[in-house]
Structure 1
Amino acid sequence: MLAAFLIVLSEGYSQQITIGKVWEVTEGIHVPESVLYHAPNNKLYVSLIGKDGTDKGEIAIIRPDGQIENLHWVTGLNAPKGMAIYKDLLYIADVTKVITVDIYTGNMVDELTVPEATFLNDVTVDDNGVVYISDTRENKIFQLKNGKISLYMKNVPSVNGLKYHKGMLLALAGKELWAIDAQKQVKVIAKGFEHGGDGIEPINGGGFIVTCWPGLVYFVSEKGEIQKLQDVQGKMNTADLGYNPKENIIYIPTFNSNSIIAYKIN
């Protein structure tokens, strides 16, 4: 079904966003938490927490047309969630560890335990290869730099989704969207989400798509206006999304519904 939504911006003009379901894949998908699109490889990396608990987590690879390439590309993880790629390395948040995988071989090249971490959730990388990892339960953001992990920022309430964008570290802090500069100064871009934010992606034309795990998808303009695009609470989850800027498509993992859904943005 194709749905249209009108976003009214503060300058007095309007921006119309239309989203429509392109495909849905369910085969072999077991509790998907995060999707990451990688343009150079033209592939979707999907973190699968798994139904059976510890040591059943995996990373799958799906093609942008929804065809499965490899459901068991990386195995033996615990409960993998957010991911980020820098050069040839994939960084994965896996409960209390940051796992590093070679994106060409699928081999694990590093495994670092984050001291005092209890629920690592999302990952992003800046232009210099510095990795940032959120810990939702501890309200902290950690930093991986030059092979060492340190605390980057504390007292970030229920911090989940992270995205480095235009020199700023974007963070979903509970029901707010923050922009954190290099001096760790915080600007609240938007607030008022119905639930704590999960995933965030900047999109073509400006603004962001934000998901909230219970089943909400929002558009946030660069001015901070919030518009609810989808509310499927009670029907499925909407976890940490991926975005393909070339095709202008978002990929949403439905967690307990065990599928990945692609939506076109127009």
Structure 2
Amino acid sequence: MRSIRLAAVLAACLILAFSCKNNTPEMSTPTPPPSAQTVVLTPAWSTDTLLTTAESVYYDETYNVLYVSCIGNVPPDAKDGDGFIAKVGLDGKIIDRQWITGLDGPKGMGKYGEYLYIADVTRVVQVDVISGKVLATIEIPGAAFLNDITVDQNGRVYISDTNNNTIYVIDGVEPSVFMQDTLFGGPNGLLVDGDRLIMAAFNVGQVFTITLQDPHATPVCDELPGGDGVVKYGNNFLISNWNGEIYAVSADWKKEKVLDTKVNNKNAADIAIIPNMKLVLVPTFFGNTVDAYRISTE
């Protein structure tokens, strides 16, 4: 009898153990993060060499056209009146070489509505893109070398001043200092990204994020010399080095050089991007062209 009870107890224990085992959730094998993709740039087309000292490209997605700022004769801060904006097709064909004339040293551009804003040494020039007429010239008090422009969703225009370590803002028609810091080391490329600015510094080789509300700057990426143009591609960024390089920079600020044009004696100034065509557009400054590259990943 005792042996029967013992056998029954053992059987019950086995049943309980088996039941517990079956009710224990299986541990899932964690899915490894996707491997980082390498950005590859392949030459697509090049404009004619008529874009004298091509400094910046802006893609107007409303009218499917490119605006190219051409400094003309150097130095780039000379108030000589020989700068111009060219209008170029998405195939690289020049539509109107001197669409806007009478500028000094035009550089970065931004657009809000039908208005194109152009950084021009110490002033910002506002152009109606439909008529091609200059509507306003806004002098920036204290400016020395206005370089790049970006515009937020409310129409505020942000302008970098490389020589004064300053970023200005135009809200309406009145310019003011948005942020000034000697640590900027020559602010150049600007991009509004949500509630922040991405800024590439020309002299110190750093990239900063700057909050739009209560401006505060944080260095996020270094050893990227000659910072010039900044564009977004997916969740990542492409940032140009004026000397002739483009870097792909991930969302966690790891960088990889994906283009080097120095061997061809070409600069890589203030770049633009056409996302749906997967094209990055590179003004070559002293090369007097805009070169387009097809973007792919591997």
The reply on whether 1:228 has 2:257 as its aligned counterpart is yes
Give the alignment of 1:150-165 within 5 angstroms: 150-155=176-181, 156-165=184-193
Is the aligned partner of 1:186 residue 2:217?
Answer: yes
In 1, distance between residues paired with 2:144 and 2:73? 20
Q: Give SS of 1:222's match.
A: coil
Q: Name 1:113's counterpart in structure 2.
A: 139
Q: How far off its partner does 1:232 sit?
A: 2.4
Per the normalisation by structure 2, the TM-score is 0.83
Greater per-residue helix proportion? 2
**1:33-75 per-position Cα deviation (integer Å, ceiling 9, x unaligned):** 0000011110100000013761110000001111111111100
1:145 counterpart (167, 171, 188): 171
| Higher alpha-carbon deviation: 12-21 or 95-104 | 12-21
Instruction: Tell me, in whole angstroms, the C-alpha distance in 1 between the residues paired with 2:117 and 2:163.
Output: 20
> What is the CA–CA distance in structure 1 between the aligned matches of 2:198 and 2:292, rounded to whole Å?
23
Q: Is contact 1:158-1:196 (8 Å) kept? A: no
CA distance in 1, matches of 2:247, 2:269: 12
Match of residue 7 from structure 1:
none
Question: 1:142, 1:27 → 2: CA distance?
Answer: 33
Partners of 2:41 and 2:259 within 8 A in 1: no
Partner of 2:248: 219
Find the counterpart in structure 2 of residue 95 from structure 1. Answer: 121
Render the CA deviation track for 1:58-99: whole Å, top value 9, x for unaligned: 000001111111111100000000000001100000000000
Q: Is the 8 A contact 2:66 2:88 kept in 1?
A: yes
Match of 1:209 in 2: 238
Paired residue secondary structure (1:14): coil
Which residue number corresponds to residue 74 of structure 1?
100
1:255 alignment partner, SS class: coil
CA contact (8 A) 1:123 1:132 kept: yes
- In the alignment, structure 1 segments of 5+ residues that lack a partner are 1-10
Correspondence for 1:4: none
The structure number with the bigger radius of gyration is 2
4+ runs of 1 displaced by more than 3 Å?
A: none
Q: Is 2:87 aligned against 1:61? A: yes
How far, CA to CA, are the matches of 1:12 and 1:201 in structure 2?
Answer: 23
- For residues 231-262 of structure 1, the C-alpha deviation after alignment (integer angstroms, 9 at most, x for no partner) is 22251111000110111101000001111100
What's the Cα RMSD here? Answer: 1.5
Q: Under a length normalisation based on structure 1, what TM-score does the superposition of the two structures give?
A: 0.92
Match of 2:195 in 1: 167
- Following superposition, the deviation at residue 12 of structure 1 comes to 6.4
Which amino acid letter does the alignment assign opposite residue 120 of structure 2?
D
Unmatched runs of 5 consecutive residues or more in structure 2: 1-32
Q: Does structure 1 retain, via aligned residues, the 8 Å contact 2:190–2:230?
A: yes
Q: Distance in 2 between matches of 1:207 and 1:189?
A: 13
Counterpart CA distance in 1 for 2:73 and 2:206 is: 31
Query: How many angstroms does 1:183 deviate by?
Result: 1.8
% same residue: 35
Whole-Å separation in 1 of the counterparts to 2:88 and 2:131: 16
Which segment drifts farther, 123-132 or 168-177? 168-177
